[in-house]
Amino acid sequence: MHPSTSAASNRAVRLMAVVAMLLCFVTYSGARASALPGGDLPRELMFGGTPRTYQLHVPAGLDHPAGLVINLHGAGMTGGDQAAATNYDAVADQHGFVVAYPDGIDFSWADGRGASVPDRQGVDDVGFLVALIGQLSRDYGIAPGRVFATGMSAGGFMATRLACERADVVSAVVPVAATLGIAFPCGPSRPVSVMQLNGTADPVVPFGGGTMLGRGGYSDIVAAPAMAERWRALDGCPPPVEDVLGAVHRFAASGCAGGTEVVFVQIDGGGHTWPADASQASAQFFATHGR
């Protein structure tokens, strides 16, 4: 064999070996990524020069997520605390949702009431959540119109603010034990479906509105029934239909603008808690209220 032919042959063999090694690495890396559910791992996203942390859960073996749920903790809590308190990983597995549990700065949110440290410091939590949604939507192929948010207490106020300001990003929200700061304007760019859960005996977020004392101090909030009525007006809903099951009154207004729905769940005697069935109820609501 001519020496130049032999050299070319050797180069070809070496090139094939390198390509094979790279293919093996890509295959292994891909298999490793898909085999690692995001569920129990802390994640980080740089936003505004600040590292923002969150916990992520991706159901095992999930190829095509049914949607993304942002689940926001109450004041004094963390995303991990919210994951444990709501057991949302389990319902995410049932419904095929990717679910993220972000951490608020100073264990709270800039939810528009003006009382928390993030509010007073002008933290852009809406921007952070939108950036997080964008990143996770790209990473996991979340379809537009299949992004949802829920939250407890301060997290519920934050979910409501997100819906008010970025209805183009979230299709439905489920705030629990929360309404909205009385002076905060809410003018969503498009109709958004809402399920709101409030207890009549909530000692922190008064059902009848007025002044509340949270972790960051005092603030004035909208009454729970008035907040539900505001959503019905914003979404152009017909009068709600009431169903009663024991202590639970469910006021559902269907056929609202853009096919949205506003559901207000009043729990007689209910306190400042995440109801036992709130995770399943919210997941079912999200499953049927995408765009």
Question: What's the rounded mean pLDDT across residues 114-139?
Answer: 96
Render pLDDT for 145-175 as a digit per residue (tens, 0 to 9): 999 999 999 999 999 999 999 999 999 999 9
**DSSP codes, 206-219:** -TT-EEEEETTEEE
Residues 6+ positions from 253 with CB-CB distance below 8 Å:
232, 235, 237, 238, 239, 240, 241, 261, 262, 263
Q: Is the pLDDT of residue 13 over 70?
A: no
Whether 176 shows a pLDDT value over 50: the answer reads: yes
Q: 220-242 pLDDT, tens per residue? A: 999 999 999 999 999 999 999 99
Topology at the third CATH level for domain 36-287 = Rossmann fold (3.40.50)
Please state, in angstroms and rounded to a whole number, the distance separating the CA atoms of residues 94 and 71: 16
pTM over 0.85: yes
Beta-carbon-side half-sphere exposure of residue 11 (alpha carbons within 13 Å): 6
Which pairing describes strands 217-221 and 262-267: parallel, antiparallel, or unpaired? unpaired
For residue 95, give the H/E element and its range: helix 88-95
CA-to-CA distance for 126 and 16, rounded, in angstroms? 50
Task: Give the integer Cα–Cα distance in Å for 157 and 283.
Answer: 19
